[in-house]
Structure 1
Amino acid sequence: MMEQGQLEKVMGLIINAGNAKSDAMEAIQAAKKGDFSLAKEKLQAADQALLEAHHAQTELLTAEAQGEALELTLLVVHSQDHLMTSITFNDLAKEMVELYQRMAA
């Protein structure tokens, strides 16, 4: 069974990665409507959420490097998958917002 502290970090990673992906999607939708100020805000929020997710991941990696075993569960695998998908989606959202800005100019 996963230790409570580890579970909290894994869940924080999932939640923040999910928030980042949602913010990135909202940025695309705002840019699509021509609201580039909101799109920028949403991209900044996505970046902040990804930073928080990275902090949780770093804490898990540091603990493991210090000899604290992390049980490899489907939840842990999901958290890493969620983070990587969110990073990729955020990168794509930035490109799409820029493309919408160019099209509007």
Structure 2
Amino acid sequence: MENINLDKTAFQITLHGGNAKDLANDALVAAKKGDYEQAEQLLAEANKEFDLGHQVQSKAMQKDDSDNRIVPTLLLVHAKDHLMAAKTEIKLINELIDLHKKLDK
């Protein structure tokens, strides 16, 4: 079984989580300007970035079996926390955009 570089994995997860948060926040800015088409596109991109980070995390978790236990580092724990915070922000920003749409009607 191939070894996994935990630092590289953590940085990849953090990268995608950060991209997802940035795109979601850009979507909110677009919605505040009334550009809902751009906001929806940015939210879709944010979700894709989250999914990429989740795929990296899942690949690492698949390596964590009874024969090849992964000992999490603080960096890896931080990366996973960062990714889950991105998901929370995406969900909240999606709700805020919906509210902006309702207020504009």
Residue number in structure 2 paired with 1:80: 80
C-alpha deviation, 1:66, in angstroms: 5.7
Q: For 1:4 and 1:59, how far apart are their aligned partners in 2? A: 9
Give the letter for the 2:30 counterpart: A
Q: For 1:81 and 1:12, how far apart are their aligned partners in 2? A: 13
2:61 partner SS? helix
C-alpha deviation, 1:4, in angstroms: 6.1
Residue number in structure 2 paired with 1:49: 49
2:5 partner SS? helix
C-alpha deviation, 1:21, in angstroms: 0.5
After TM superposition, what 4+ stretches of structure 1 lie above 4 angstroms from structure 2?
A: none
Residue number in structure 2 paired with 1:70: 70
User: Are residues 1:58 and 2:58 paired?
Assistant: yes
Q: For 2:103 and 2:85, how far apart are their aligned partners in 1? A: 27
User: Are residues 1:101 and 2:92 paired?
Assistant: no
1:66 to 1:53, Cα distance in 2 relative to 1, 3 A:
farther
1:7 to 1:98, Cα distance in 2 relative to 1, 3 A:
same
Matches within 5 A, 1:30-45: 30-45=30-45
Deviations 1:27-65 (A, max 9, x none): 111101101011001100000001101100100110002
Deviations 1:45-97 (A, max 9, x none): 00000110110010011000263232321111111110111110000011011
Structure 1: which 5+ runs fail to align? none
Residue number in structure 1 paired with 2:24: 24
Residue number in structure 1 paired with 2:90: 90
Does the Cα contact within 8 Å between 2:4 and 2:60 map onto a contact in 1?
no
RMSD over equivalenced CA pairs, Å: 1.5
* Aligned positions, number: 103
| Identity among equivalent pairs (%) | 29
